[in-house]
A = this chain, B = another copy of it.
Amino acid sequence: MTTDPADTGMLRQTNRSLPIALLRARETLMEPVRIMLSKSQISEQKWRVLRVVSESGPMEQTSIARTACLLLPSLTRIIHALERDGLLERNVASTDRRKSIVTVTEKGRALIREHSAQSNQIFDDLEAQFGAEKLNTLLDLLEELQQVKI
């Protein structure tokens, strides 16, 4: 009796499934971050948006969406919530009134500062335990995977 998928017409087994492996890796990785952020009522997504805008400076929403890996409808809602909580500001772009330029407020920067040490600690621990070289290999492979045209 064989279990070769080619013989049975079955699907590739899920035990070495790349999509699920990516999901699981994310769970492992983000769990401590989510626990940290839950103390400030900040979701993983809001944290991504705050960090991206903080690092790049004032940005339009399409750029934020691309960088933070969010779709525009989600981003719209997240930014409205962050604006409501006083962590971001939006201003209509002078050159193109369709665009709104998003900026981190001082309150937003304070929140980022408040968590940055612990956030860095988490990823430093990861790097220490997993190994800097393996981490780099993994990042390279993941970037290369994004280039594959399926």
Give the one of A32, A51, A69 with max B CB within 10 A. A69
**A interface secondary structure, majority:** helix
Q: Which residues of B contact A21 (CB under 8 A)?
A: 139, 142-143
**A137 in contact (CB, < 8 A):** yes
Q: Which residues of B contact A98 (CB under 8 A)?
A: none
A16 x B134 contact (CB < 8 A): no
Question: What are 24 pairs between A and B in contact, CB < 8 Å?
Answer: A5-B120, A9-B113, A10-B54, A10-B55, A10-B116, A11-B51, A11-B120, A13-B55, A14-B52, A18-B139, A19-B26, A19-B29, A21-B143, A22-B22, A22-B29, A23-B69, A25-B145, A25-B146, A27-B146, A126-B148, A130-B145, A134-B144, A138-B138, A138-B145
Q: Which residues of B contact A141 (CB under 8 A)?
A: 134, 137-138, 141
Known contacts A14-B51, A55-B11; A126/B138 CB under 8 A: no
Q: Which residues of B contact A129 (CB under 8 A)?
A: 148-150
Kindly provide the distance from the CB of A66 to the nearest chain B CB, expressed in whole angstroms: 10
**A59 in contact (CB, < 8 A):** no
Known contacts A28-B150, A142-B22, A148-B28; A11/B116 CB under 8 A: yes
**A20 in contact (CB, < 8 A):** yes
Kindly provide the distance from the CB of A137 to the nearest chain B CB, expressed in whole angstroms: 7
Report the separation of the CA atoms of residues A5 and B26 in the bound assembly, to the nearest whole angstrom: 24
